[in-house]
Structure 1
């Protein structure tokens, strides 16, 4: 009986140690956006120099816009990101994000996304109207979609910083990097993307784009 007790005790200790090791490994993993070490906080502040987001509408006087599919692809490899569009201008980079649950802590200030996914399990696209249809212009909507956040400041700071650093690494000449998970912004870029796929130039939309980003990024800061 004594031997059995020792054996059970040993199993409990092993289980506790295994659990602690798993927790430690997970907290250090790319899938965890909740935990932020002091070094990571310092890196965030240091990288603001390279991705400074300032309340200056003149920063958005872009003269050209183009998509960067390669940059977007790399961002979509980051846990927590379902989809991304990246537009490069003559000076800036603009990133739209659609978020998912492949990482914890994606939402920086709680579960405040814009989507109501009621009815999704029943094959109904819109749980409010019962409609199974969606507009092709919209990559995301307010029902049965992956997640968007109206205010970009509500994106996890750690996730945003991962995105900023990836964009800067791939496009070192950009002056400013702006990141948003705003649903209207995502869908606007989706419309531009469809025009690009059809072979249409985005030059006629530069003014419209500039006016939009002045609104989306008029009051923001990188946490």
Structure 2
């Protein structure tokens, strides 16, 4: 009898352990966990799909760009992403992200939240000033907003890999995929997307587009004029893609 009880207890322990392992494995394969960062993580087994790969100093001298509604929707479907705006060029794909924290580990490490949403409890937009007014041009803002990550190096590598692989599935010809959840970057992409949604050509904006992507991904020295808080420049901790 004692042996039988011991056997049953051992079986229960092994079953629980197996269930835990299976859950962990499923989570690592899914888009609900971008933070495991363990050796052999299935999301990272293939070669890195995002960031610079060519070493070409003219990689961000794009000749044209266009908004992709299909890829934008497919990336937005991923857990952890509230909205994505994807632009394709003659060379690259560029992805702007707005996060919603419906997945764990979207931020690599450290850093504080860039959004203050306490105003929603007080019926105001800006908790600091008490103002009820927001910036209609800003998709992402410091107040009452979905979430941003200013430094691309603080954005989860697994999240960037997952996004890049999805982009490459739908646009296999792109040379590089560059991804940012920077507030200013996303707001610029929202402005470009508005032009496309209105049926207008994006070619008049190509120089500004190149300025934006060079600043965020290639250490460009020319800083685009701020949209989120006009007159207030928000420096990037690191502008070099990883």
TM-score where L is the length of structure 2:
0.77
Distance change >3 Å, CA 42–CA 195, structure 1 → 2: closer
Which segment is superposed worse, 140-149 or 16-25? Answer: 16-25
Offset of 1:102 from its aligned partner?
Answer: 0.4
Structure 1 CA distance for aligned equivalents of residues 127 and 14 of structure 2: 44
Q: How does 1:141-152 map to 2 (within 5 A)?
A: 141-152=141-152
Q: Give yes or no for the alignment of 1:46 onto 2:47.
A: yes
5+ residue gaps, structure 1, are 1-5
Alignment-derived partner of residue 162 in structure 1: 162
Structure 1 CA distance for aligned equivalents of residues 88 and 113 of structure 2: 26
Whether the 8 Å contact between 1:52 and 1:176 is mirrored in structure 2 is yes
- Count how many residue pairs are aligned between Structure 1 and Structure 2: 215
Q: Give yes or no for the alignment of 1:220 onto 2:240.
A: yes
Alignment-derived partner of residue 80 in structure 2: 80
**Bigger proportion of residues as helix:** 1
Alignment-derived partner of residue 19 in structure 2: 21
Distance change >3 Å, CA 145–CA 14, structure 1 → 2: farther
5+ residue gaps, structure 2, are 219-238
Structure 1 CA distance for aligned equivalents of residues 128 and 95 of structure 2: 30
Give the match's secondary structure for 2:94.
strand
Whether the 8 Å contact between 1:168 and 1:174 is mirrored in structure 2 is yes
User: RMSD of the alignment, in Å?
Assistant: 3.0
Which segment is superposed worse, 124-133 or 208-217? Answer: 124-133
Alignment-derived partner of residue 225 in structure 2: none
Alignment-derived partner of residue 94 in structure 1: 94
Distance change >3 Å, CA 56–CA 147, structure 1 → 2: farther
Offset of 1:193 from its aligned partner?
Answer: 1.4
Alignment-derived partner of residue 211 in structure 2: 211
Structure 1 CA distance for aligned equivalents of residues 154 and 112 of structure 2: 8
Structure 2 CA distance for aligned equivalents of residues 123 and 76 of structure 1: 29
